[in-house]
Amino acid sequence: MRYLVLALLLVSAHFALTPFAPSPAGSAKFYWPFATDSKPWVGFADGLPAQSGLLTALLAGLAGLGLLLAAMGLFWNGIPAAWWPAIVVVSAVASILLYALYFGAWALLPLVLDLALLWGVLLRHWTVAGLRGG
């Protein structure tokens, strides 16, 4: 189970970090959901990080780095196990907010992965100890 959760965390982190390296204009895909011409559908958001998009950069950075930190926490004792559920929840919520800003067909897979992580932590009570088997 630990490796399935690791895969969920890493793929979700990949999706969350793609605003920092968008694909060329018009070439967003299900595995790379942001392109240089991606625009938020709400007026107050200011675009991708390369376009001075502070809100997008904050959400993507928080989500991506938090999900990577949670992935490391599955194997490394340097991250307190008690923090792990909170790191996953905060990161998944940041990713959900990011994809809510840029909602479209390519946002569905990242949203499903984030919801799966929230389901696991909040409803199935995943913990580092439980996932490590000890």
Mean pLDDT (whole number) for 109-127: 96
Burial 63-84 (b: 16+ CB within 10 A, else e): bbbbbbbbbebbeeeebeeeeb
- In the predicted model, is pLDDT for residue 96 greater than 70? yes
| Distance in angstroms (rounded) separating the CA atoms of residues 77 and 22 | 33
**pLDDT tens digits, 7-65:** 999 999 999 999 999 989 888 888 888 888 888 877 667 777 777 778 999 999 999 99
Judged by average pLDDT, the poorest of 32-46, 69-83, 85-99, 100-114 is: 32-46
CA angle centred on 90, ends 83 and 48, rounded to 5°: 135
**pLDDT tens digits, 52-67:** 778 999 999 999 999 9
What is the pTM (predicted TM-score) of this model? 0.91
| Distance in angstroms (rounded) separating the CA atoms of residues 118 and 115 | 5
Provide the pLDDT confidence category of residue 101 given band limits of 50, 70 and 90: very high
